[in-house]
């Protein structure tokens, strides 16, 4: 489709078709259901991520190198929920995108900006876990400066690759059932295609590869530890099982929330004539935006120390898990034993 006017090609004409076009895509009831789902995601994402930020700032004990990345992830997800989730909730409730050209530009840019920063932060966390667990006594230690550098790089990287459509390289348009905006994946314009190819590989494929490689190597290390301990004790440590389970949950959450969206984008980039039902195209969008809820639960609330502080704050000092030993993130390591030729695995939580 042609852009509405000259200048940055960030909006397409079908936004002006309003509810007349959208009722052909989805029933009034369908839009209401989408509004409720996105509303729940947005509210939960805002509450959970605000709690993460407040609790971390309040308790000095939580201010460890990894915490910088975790808080940054919470900020990214909070931005996605506020600037992406809430507008989509409103437009879905109305049944069509009613925020105009500027609203589409801002919503698409915000979701892209905070979303890519979130993906990059997840990659930083995976690298931190790999270094801490696999090389606890190595020459390279993950310190505060590394965490800060990773956070800064995440924002800079996201800003660099989210802004080009504002200046004419790439296009933002309505997506799915046309209640939210996103990059125009199916365009065959040379400028759009070049931007989308680079955007896909640098902002989706690259963070994804970092996550998969880091966690694959981490799991391999845990397996070696398990084999060694089984040969010595005849059994597998409960802690090792917990760590492996945690990693699997992290990877699966990443795949479930982002892979459908990335796969659909890649499919329409390869074949622009590919028809995808608008409702089907909307599902990956909702999966991706649901990461604002899953991330704080998986990466932070499954952390025993953080959970202890949070529950105590919410329940006015009472912690039902107070009998559990508090462990810091620095204890999430595979340490070399001084008495035997093996490694001790401490809890991932």
**What's the 3-state SS for the chain?**
CCECCCCCCCCEHHHHHHHHHHCCCCCHHHHHHHHHHHHHHHHHHHHHHHHHHHHHHHCHHHCCHHHHHHHHHHHHHHHHHHHHHHHHHHHHHHCCCCCHHHHHHHHHHHHHHHHHHHHHHHHHHHHHHHHHHHCCCCCCCCCHHHHHHHHHHHHHHHHHHHCHHHHCCCCEEEECCCCEEEECCCCCCHHHHHHHHHHHHHHHHHHHHHHHHHHHHHHHHHHHHHHHHHHHHCCCCHHHHHHHHHHHHHHHHHHHHHHHHHHHHHHHHHCCCCCCCHHHHHHHHHHHHCHHHHHHHHHHHCCHHHHHHHHHHHCCCCCCCCCCCCCCHHHCCEEECCCCCCEEECCCC
pLDDT over 70 percentage in the chain: 76
Q: 4 or 228: whose pLDDT is higher?
A: 228
Q: Where in the sequence is the domain holding 291, given as residue range(s)?
A: 13-345
Q: Is residue 163 part of a domain?
A: yes
pLDDT at position 323? 54
pLDDT at position 10? 47
Q: 14 or 213: whose pLDDT is higher?
A: 213
Q: 108 or 242: whose pLDDT is higher?
A: 108
pLDDT over 90 percentage in the chain: 35
* Mean pLDDT on 37-50: 95
pLDDT at position 327? 45
pLDDT at position 348? 45
pLDDT at position 319? 58
CATH number for position 106: 1.20.1070.10
Q: 16 or 119: whose pLDDT is higher?
A: 119
Q: Is residue 207 part of a domain?
A: yes
Minimum mean pLDDT range among 31-35, 70-74, 333-337: 333-337
Minimum mean pLDDT range among 3-7, 85-89, 162-166: 3-7
Number of domains forming the structure of the chain? 1
Instruction: For the beta carbon of residue 330, count every other beta carbon within 10 angstroms.
Output: 13
Does 81 score more than 90 pLDDT?
A: yes
Does 331 score more than 60 pLDDT?
A: no
* Mean pLDDT on 335-340: 34
pLDDT at position 242? 65
pLDDT at position 142? 74
Does 341 score more than 50 pLDDT?
A: no
Q: Which of 48, 91, 43 is nearest to 71 (CA)?
A: 48
Q: 67 or 238: whose pLDDT is higher?
A: 67
pLDDT tens readout for residues 226-273: 776 655 655 555 555 666 677 778 788 888 888 898 888 888 888 878
Q: Is residue 8 part of a domain?
A: no
Q: Is residue 3 part of a domain?
A: no
pLDDT at position 2? 36
pLDDT at position 240? 58
């Amino acid at each position: 489709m042609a852009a509405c006017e000259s200048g940055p090609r960030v909006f397409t004409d079908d936004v002006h078709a309003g509810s007349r076009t959208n009722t052909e895509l989805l029933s009034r009831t369908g839009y209401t259901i989408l509004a409720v789902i996105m509303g729940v995601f947005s509210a939960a994402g805002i509450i959970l991520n605000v709690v993460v930020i407040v609790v971390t700032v309040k308790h000095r004990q939580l201010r460890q190198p990894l915490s910088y990345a975790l808080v940054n992830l919470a900020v990214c997800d909070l931005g996605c929920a506020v600037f992406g989730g809430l507008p989509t909730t409103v437009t879905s409730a109305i049944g069509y995108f009613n925020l105009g050209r500027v609203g589409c530009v801002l919503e698409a840019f915000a979701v892209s900006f905070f979303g890519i920063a979130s993906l990059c932060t997840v990659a930083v966390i995976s690298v931190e876990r790999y270094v801490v667990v696999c090389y606890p006594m190595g020459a390279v230690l993950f310190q505060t400066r590394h965490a800060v550098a990773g956070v800064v790089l995440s924002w800079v990287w996201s800003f660099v690759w989210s802004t080009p459509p504002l200046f004419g390289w790439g296009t933002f348009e309505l997506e799915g059932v046309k209640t939210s905006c996103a990059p125009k994946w199916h365009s065959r314009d040379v400028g759009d295609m070049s931007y989308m190819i680079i955007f896909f590989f640098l902002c989706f494929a690259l963070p994804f590869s970092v996550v998969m490689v880091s966690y694959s190597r981490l799991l391999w290390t845990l397996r070696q530890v398990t084999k060694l301990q089984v040969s010595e004790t005849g059994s597998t440590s409960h802690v090792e099982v917990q760590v492996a389970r945690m990693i699997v949950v992290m990877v699966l959450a990443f795949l479930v929330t982002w892979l459908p969206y990335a796969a659909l984008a890649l499919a329409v980039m390869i074949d622009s004539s590919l028809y995808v039902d608008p409702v089907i195209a909307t599902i990956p969008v909702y999966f991706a935006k649901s990461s604002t809820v899953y991330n704080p639960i998986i990466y932070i609330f499954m952390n025993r120390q953080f959970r202890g502080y949070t529950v105590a704050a919410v329940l006015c000092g009472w912690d039902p898990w107070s009998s559990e030993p508090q462990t810091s993130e620095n204890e999430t390591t595979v340490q070399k034993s001084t008495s035997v030729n093996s490694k001790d695995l401490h809890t991932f939580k």
